[in-house]
Amino acid sequence: MLKWAIIFFVISLVAGFFGFTGVASGAKSIAKVLFFIAIAIFLIVLIFGVFLGMLAF
């Protein structure tokens, strides 16, 4: 998911450079949403990993 966020960020930068502000803002919004979803999934997996690690001992 983080890979897709980076791809949309690069698309946003390229579109902004060439003057396509509508495409750039759309790609920026998608990249931001994907980034926060990736962070949320990472935190959930981290929390479950810590709890399951505690149960193993």
Which residue in 31, 26, 24 sits closest to 3, CA to CA? 31
pLDDT digits (tens, 9 = 90+) for 36-56: 999 999 999 999 999 988 887
Helices (H), the chain: 2-17, 21-56
Q: How many other β-carbons are positioned within 10 Å of the β-carbon of residue 15?
A: 18
Looking at residue 57, its pLDDT comes to 66
pTM: 0.80
pLDDT digits (tens, 9 = 90+) for 5-18: 999 999 999 999 99
pLDDT digits (tens, 9 = 90+) for 29-39: 999 999 999 99
- Position with higher pLDDT, 32 vs 2: 32
